[in-house]
Amino acid sequence: MAGETLIAILILLPLATAAVGLAVKDDKLRRPFIILPSMALIAASVLLLFRVLDHGTITFTPSGTWDPIILILELALLAYFLYLGVIRKHVLVLGLAGFQLALFCLLKFAWLPSGFKAQPALHVDLLAVVMCLVISVVGSLIVMYGLNYMQNHERHLGLTATRQHIFFFFLVGFLGAMNGLVFANSLLWLFFFWEITTLCCYHLIRHDLTDEAEQNAMRALWMNLVGGVAVVGGMALTYQASGTLSMMELTGFGTVGPVLLLPLALFCLAGFTKAAQVPFQSWLLGAMVAPTPVSALLHSSTMVKAGVYLVLRLAPAYQDTYLSAVLAIFGAFVFMVTSLLAISQPVSKRVLAYSTISSLGLIICLAGINSGLAVAAAVALIIFHAVTKGVLFLVVGIVEQDIHSRNIEDMEGLTARLPVISGLAIAGMIVMLFVPFGVLFAKWAGIQAAATPFSEFYPLVVVFLAVGSAAGMVFWVRWIGRLISNVTTADGPPAEVRREPRASVPYLVVFSLVGGAVVLSVLAAPLVSWLINPAIAAMGYSPALDTAGWYLTTPFGSFSPWALFIVVALALLLPALLVKARPEEVMPVYLCGVNQPAEGPTFRSIADTPAAVETGGMYWTQAFGERSLNTWVNGAGIVLLAALFLGVIM
Amino acid sequence: MSGYEWLIGLAALVFAPLLGGFLRGIDRKLTARMQGRIGPPIWQQFYDFFKLIGKARAVTTKGSLMWVWGYLLLTMLAVYMLFAQRDLLIIFFILAFAGACLIFGAFSVRSPYSHIGAHREIMQMLSYEPILLLAAVAIFLQTGTFKVSGIFEHDGPLLLTLPLVFVAVLIALTIKLRKSPFDISASEHAHQELVRGVYTEYSGRFLALIELTHWYELVLILAFVALFWAQPLWIGVLLALGVYFLELLVDNIEARLQWSWMLSISWAAGIGFILVNIILIELVFGNVLRL
């Protein structure tokens, strides 16, 4: 199939599926309408990968009158945001949407000559294909997972009329918009898809229509409108300075002149709002009121990834500039503080949200370091983070529908109650946290890249990365610890073991994502040589990772993911299989008093009164709580942003 | 150093426990003398080890047994990689994984004592992990590589250009060696107590495995200290032994600290020293990557 057709399918199929699905209100009928196009989308993205690997970058402008159509839809969209500001009486949304609309009209009708087109409209290189794979594969899996989840969700809420068709309209449409966003070369097209993601995000967050959902959706909307305004402003300034609105022309010729730095900084600001970087993190934290598939989609494959994609895409243009240096500090700072904030969170989705923001900060930091090694690490992190974060959100969704809580404290001893799903959760967290898995490979390469003196401030960046990486350990290790906490008695595990629907779609989705994360980690070296190195070469970087013998070798260090994986797997799996505890060897725990196993987990305490055994997680809220840190964190974030813009302007 | 690194690594796996156990024996003897006791024989650690191996098993939960093996095997992997002169960052990451296994072992049994120990052990990791990573970075600025082999190819001892990093590493290693004032997750070795945080629910051969792992850890830590004077290596070995004596001394004259103090001391002093040292490298000693 021709590359052009595949690209058209990847953008239009989800949009068409969304539109058709709007008419399907029956649960059973919806399944084929969602599952078949999702499969097709996955297949198309894989085909596109091979196409681009074999034949190189695809650039073209689709035939037909797309530009006027997009313009009309764009204006309608901006007017709709304005309308939302009016009917919700939200001054910020109203102001930002109005400003955005006015600025866009000024740009389109006054500054750009009539009939102006940025040619070619689409530019699909390997970076775009990597993003497309993340969006189409992980995104489609999450959409399929959503089928079961939403049925349970509506049953739980006791709705009389289903609202799932609206839900899937925005969920599936999101994928098309994201694909359009990463394929766009014309900044006008990119802006159009950018605004669609904002729209989808808004509607998905408010899906349950509770007060909290409405409120958080409005917050997400205004923060993302800040990003929208920044994109329009960036476009206007880019056009004034260079007379072009083509991404390729902006990034294709090495570092841009200083006059273009301000629009680039504006595009980066837009990226920060989408990627929920400090001080915009509150919209992503608030987004967890939405049903879990939304969180999974926003955090892993869409929305926030659009933000880091834009920053990373523009990286060649601001290489070796002040902007690049500040981006590195800013990203590393966000990486550190959000990891620290996550330590104090007992709510699983908030932990996941902070860890997402932290990983995105790392990607932005790597884009700011802006060397071949750093950019390769950033691309790797985009892939691995999408897969693992997808796993963790989906797992939390399944657990939440079972135990009716998203609090980590209520997940104590979950391995005894839901062994399969908690095993998958632990696998996901280990992939997120430990060597030799992919996320850590990115951190390893990231610390190396940060230690090469790329700017005067590199010691600061390295310190932020080291502290953030240690802080990440705290909340993941504690969470795993809560899950596995468990007493075996002579009669076996005390808690009732639930039968889990292992063959259901949600479980299969989680299985395949965990499997994908592990396989990709073990095969990290071939992945680098086959996909990541060519991808960064197409962006203009010289590949810094050597993969001879399937070792990952940088100029400064090396390790072998597959060999380490074998050793680690043996060290953990062999004991799990071989160590057996005979019933007569099982003893009660030490409780500083006489145990009373007959009465459950209790012991004789002071004055012979029975006391129940309780354990709980520590969250160190005094030291790492939002209340004690948020003011400083947001203040420092604003100062860094101010420094970014002041430096760029002066 | 060509082609035989793996052999040195394997040899280290065989000899490290012997050396580690012996050093522990010296530890107990010296500590006893500092406290005005006669102390056990030098070989007492090995007697204890075999006695523990021979005990009947008492199991509170299967999970904790599994993780102990992970703790031991991953620590051995880190020892192998250090002596085979591999990537220092990866060695520290593996070490963190091993440490996490100990924590998981303590978490997998529902016992308040081991849970408190596990949480404190997490705080210890939060305290020393950045220092170790940053020390690797500082060494990198001198040798131009994260590989341990690069330290041996580097001219001149690292200690002369990385004195403050060395001090920071000492702080981190006191935590890692579980010595006062930082033995907060479990009272350790010379301070025997019955309820010992993360180790509370271990007995018999699994306690012996933990002991064995500690011997490996001790050798790993002292070997890392020796790297600060890698040429000639015998000075490095003397340096490591000197550091070990210093740790014993501090252990016996210091009281245990709260976790918040440990965290502020290790971050403020440890990270601060390394930052100052990196600035010194840039301004005075010269960064090898800029040459």
Q: Does B235 touch chain A (CB under 8 A)?
A: no
B183 touches A: beta carbon within 8 Å: no
Q: Which structural domain range is residue B152 located in?
A: 5-290
Span A338-348, average pLDDT: 95
Residues 513-572 of A with CB under 8 A from B: 556-559, 564, 567-568, 570-572
For B:17-76, CB contacts with A below 8 A are 56-63, 65-66, 68-70, 73-74
Phi and psi, residue B255, nearest 5°: -90, 165
Amino acid at A87: I
**Selection from A369, A8, A360, A303 nearest residue A171 by Cα:** A303
Instruction: State the pLDDT confidence band at B1, using cuts at 50, 70 and 90.
Output: very low
CB contact under 8 A, B147 and A474: no
Domain count of chain A? 1
- Burial pattern A224-258, b for ≥16 Cβ within 10 A else e, equals bbbbbbbbbbbbbbbbebbeebbbbbbbeeebbee
Q: Is B129 on the interface with A (CB under 8 A)?
A: yes
Q: Which chain A residues in 428-467 lie under 8 Å from chain B, judged by CB atoms?
A: 433-435, 440, 444, 447-448, 451-453, 459, 462-463, 465-467
Task: Read off the pLDDT of residues B222-263 as tens digits, 9 standing for 90 and up.
Answer: 999 999 999 889 999 999 999 999 999 998 888 888 888 999
Task: Kindly state whether residue A612 falls inside one of the protein's structural domains.
Answer: no
Longest alpha-carbon distance in chain A: 89
CA gap A488, A585 in Å, rounded: 11
d(CA B219, CA B240) in angstroms, rounded, equals 10
Per-residue pLDDT for B188 more than 70? no
A225-234, A598-607, B14-23, B123-132: least confident range:
A598-607
Please give the tally of structural domains in chain B: 1
The predicted structure's pLDDT at residue A313: 95
Q: What percent of chain A has pLDDT over 70?
A: 98
List of chain A residues whose C-beta atoms are within 8 Å of the C-beta of residue B267: 467
> Does position A602 have pLDDT exceeding 50, yes or no?
yes
Cα–Cα dist A396/A142, whole Å: 13
DSSP state of A263: H
Neighbouring residues of B175: CB distance < 8 A, sequence distance ≥ 6: B124, B127, B128, B182, B262, B266
Q: Is A492 on the interface with B (CB under 8 A)?
A: no
Chain A partners of B77 at a C-beta cutoff of 8 Å?
564, 567-568, 571
**Higher pLDDT pick, A86 / A588:** A86
Maximum alpha-carbon separation in chain B = 62
Structure ipTM: 0.95
Rounded CA separation B49/B39 (Å): 17
pLDDT-derived band of residue B192, with 50, 70 and 90 as boundaries? low
Distances (CA, A) of A505 to A31, A37, A141, A145, A254: 11, 16, 9, 6, 46
Contact A466 B129 (CB under 8 A): yes
Q: Catalogue the long-range contacts made by A143-146 (C-beta closer than 8 Å, 24 or more residues apart).
A: A143/A34, A143/A38, A143/A168, A143/A171, A143/A172, A143/A175, A143/A293, A143/A297, A144/A34, A144/A35, A144/A38, A144/A505, A144/A509, A145/A293, A145/A296, A145/A394, A145/A397, A145/A505, A145/A506, A145/A509, A145/A510, A146/A171, A146/A291, A146/A293
| A602, β-bridge pairs | A612
**What pLDDT score was predicted for residue A63?**
83
Question: In which domain, by residue range, is A405 found?
Answer: 322-586
The mean pLDDT value for A88-98 works out to 94
Position A595 pLDDT exceeds 90: no
For the entire predicted model, the pTM comes to: 0.95
The closest of A458, A457, A464 to A443, measured between CA atoms, is: A464
Structure tokens at B234: 């015998």
Pairing relation of β-strands A58-60 and A552-553? Answer: unpaired
Closest-CA distance, A337 to chain B, in angstroms, reads 14
Gap between the Cα atoms of A451 and A324, Å rounded: 15
Helix axes A322-343, A626-649, angle to 10 degrees: 170
Q: Is the pLDDT of residue A73 over 60?
A: yes
> DSSP letters along A310-329, please?
HHHHTGGGGTTSHHHHHHHH
CA-based nearest distance B85→chain A, Å: 11
What pLDDT digit, counting tens, does each position of B113-148 carry? 899 999 999 999 999 999 999 999 999 999 999 999
pLDDT at A359 over 60: yes
Does A162 map to a domain? no
Taking an 8 Å cut-off on Cβ atoms, the answer to whether A585 and B119 are in contact is no
How far does B25 lie from chain A, in Å, by closest CA?
28
CA distance B34 to chain A (A): 32
Q: Looking at residues B91-95, what average pLDDT do you find?
A: 96
Side chain identity, residue B127: S
Residues in chain B within 8 Å Cβ distance of A462: 134, 137, 278
List the single range of A211-225, A596-610, B38-52 with lowest mean pLDDT: A596-610
Burial A21-58 (b: 16+ CB within 10 A, else e): beebeeeeebbebbeebbebbbebbbbbbebbeeeeeb
Tell me what pLDDT residue B201 has: 86
Task: With cut-offs at 50, 70 and 90, classify the pLDDT of residue A383.
Answer: very high
**Does residue A635 sit within a domain?**
no
Is A623–B260 a contact, with Cβ atoms under 8 angstroms apart?
Answer: yes
> Is A111 a domain residue?
no
Closest residue, chain B, to A441 (C-alpha)? B90
Looking at the complex, does the CB of residue A589 fall below 8 Å from at least one CB of chain B? yes
Q: What is the pLDDT of residue A25?
A: 87
A17, A169 contact by CB (below 8 A): no
What is residue A615's predicted lDDT score, i.e. its pLDDT? 86
- Dump pLDDT digits (tens) for A242-265: 888 999 888 876 677 777 899 999
Q: Which has the higher per-residue pLDDT, B61 or A312?
A: A312
Q: Is the pLDDT of residue B187 over 80?
A: no
For tokens 């060649």, the residue is: A316
For the segment A15-34, the average pLDDT, to the nearest whole number, is: 91
pLDDT attached to residue A13: 95
In a domain, A564, yes or no: yes
DSSP labels, A475-520: HHHHHHHHHH----BTTB-SSPPPP--TTSHHHHHHHHHHHHHHHH
pLDDT above 80 for A486: no
Residue whose C-alpha is closest to residue A520's, from A381, A357, A366, A359:
A381
Q: A267: closest CA among A236, A243, A242, A240?
A: A236
Burial class from Cβ neighbours inside 10 Å (0-12, 13-18, 19+) for residue A381 reads buried
pLDDT value at B191 more than 70: no
- Residue pLDDT, tens place only, A148-192: 999 999 998 888 888 999 999 999 999 999 999 999 999 999 999
Q: Are B183 and B99 in contact (CB under 8 A)?
A: no
CB contact under 8 A, B56 and A487: no
Q: What is the mean pLDDT of residues A591-612?
A: 80
A535-569: burial string, b at 16+ Cβ within 10 Å, e else: bbebbbbebbbbbeebebbbebbbbbbbebbebbe
**pLDDT exceeds 60 at position A514:** yes
When the pLDDT of each residue in chain A is averaged and rounded to a whole number, the result is 91
Best B71, B80, B115 residue to mutate vs chain A (most A CBs within 10 Å):
B115
Alpha helical stretches, state H, A184-303: 187-205, 211-242, 247-251, 261-274, 282-286, 292-296
Instruction: Identify the residue among B5, B68, B87 best suited for mutation to test binding to A, counting A beta carbons within 10 A and taking the highest.
Output: B87
Q: What phi and psi, each to the nearest 5 degrees, are found at residue A435? A: -70, 145
